[in-house]
Amino acid sequence: MRSSPRCGAKTRAGTPCEAPAVKGKKRCRMHGGAKGSGAPKGNQNALKSGLYTAESLRLRRHVNQLIRDTKKIFEEM
């Protein structure tokens, strides 16, 4: 057991985690090596509110550019 690879994470104290890594992974079960841990594939969290979808981000950038252009026009008057 002591010869098995160790987890590569750092604890809150800044010391390396001494728990053994999950087989085939670089982290222990507490630091993300457990089955099902981690973020979902393809940023599925963005779909919950729609705030960070690609379409929404493009629209906000376009609106912000229109606002900047409008301010510039008013300053030139």
* Contact of 62 with 68, CB cutoff 8 Å: no
Task: For 4-15, write each residue's pLDDT tens digit.
Answer: 889 888 888 999
Average confidence score pLDDT of the chain? 86
pLDDT tens track for 37-57: 766 677 676 677 888 888 999
The number of beta carbons lying within 10 Å of the beta carbon of residue 33 is 21
* pLDDT recorded at residue 3: 82
pLDDT exceeds 80 at position 71: yes
Q: What is the arithmetic mean of pLDDT over 27-42?
A: 78
Residue 53 half-sphere exposure toward CB, CA atoms < 13 A? 8
